[in-house]
Amino acid sequence: MLKIFTPLALLLVLGSTVTIARAQSHSGTDAEQRACSRDVTRFCRKVIDQGDFTILACLKENRPKLTKACNEVLLSHGQ
């Protein structure tokens, strides 16, 4: 179940954050979800049920440890 929830949570994080930040509707592509799903599982497992912004904050806090691909996804969404 975590394997299904993690990419969905990431999609919501990226979509919600970008929508609020840029007043546009974007959502993470399959490739973007794959790029960050491992990092979300690895670094943010404890907060995964606390909402999209909490997961995003967790990814930002762990930025030095994120994979290059996930870091690029965050940067491409203005994070």
Give me the tens of pLDDT residue by residue for the chain, a chain 79 residues long. Answer: 556 556 566 666 665 544 444 333 335 789 988 999 999 999 999 999 998 789 889 999 999 999 999 999 999 999 9
pLDDT for 28 equals: 74
Tokens of 27: 């959502």
- Rounded to two decimals, what is the model's pTM? 0.63
First to last CA, the chain: 27
Closest CA to 55 of 12, 1, 25: 12
Give me the residue spans of the domains in the chain: 2-76
Which uninterrupted H or E stretch holds 6? Answer: helix 2-22
> What is the gyration radius of the CA atoms in the chain, in angstroms?
11
Structure confidence at residue 25 (pLDDT): 33
